[in-house]
Amino acid sequence: MQPTNEAQVGAVQGHGRWAFLRHYLEMVVAMLVGMVVVGAAVRGVLAVMGLEFPSRHPELVALEMAFDMSVGMVAWMRYRGHGWPGTLEMTGVMFAPAIALFPLLWLGAVSGDTFMVLEHVLMLPLMYLVMLRRRGEYGGTNPTQGELA
């Protein structure tokens, strides 16, 4: 059912913005939980196998961290009822900054620490942009009724 007056449209838009922001924050929390839980599991398995975590290789650390964050985020998105296309799109955003920044690391233009900071700083606005692309899905509006958020 479409809102019929400006007050109803404003109410739906406000709800959509809050739902959008809430979902964004939920995904950030899910990523952090994934990073801690899956990261600890990976390090535990490596320790049991007698292997060291490859911390002197920023590329491997970045890819492992993107994987850890993706696991938490995918679990949360699927729990919230998101389909696979949007979920996989968001997972790609976890890896895209690292892959894009690898050449700067390899050329020595950035240090390993700077690389890790840049990866995380870029990841958050990229998530936001991908969410804007699917505003109806993330904003709490019904995409079949038009995007009001």
Residue-wise pLDDT tens digits, 24-77: 999 999 999 999 999 999 999 989 999 888 778 999 999 999 999 999 999 999
pLDDT-based confidence at residue 12 (cuts at 50, 70, 90): very low
Q: Which amino acid is at 137?
A: E
Residues 6+ apart with CB under 8 A from 110: 101, 104, 118
113: left (phi over 0), alpha (psi -120 to 50) or beta: alpha
Helix locations, 1-147, DSSP H? 6-48, 58-79, 84-106, 112-133, 135-138
Range 10-33 average pLDDT: 79
- The pLDDT score that the predictor gives to residue 40 is 93
Ranked by mean pLDDT, which of 1-5, 35-39, 143-147 comes out on top? Answer: 35-39
Q: Which helix (H) or strand (E) holds 11?
A: helix 6-48
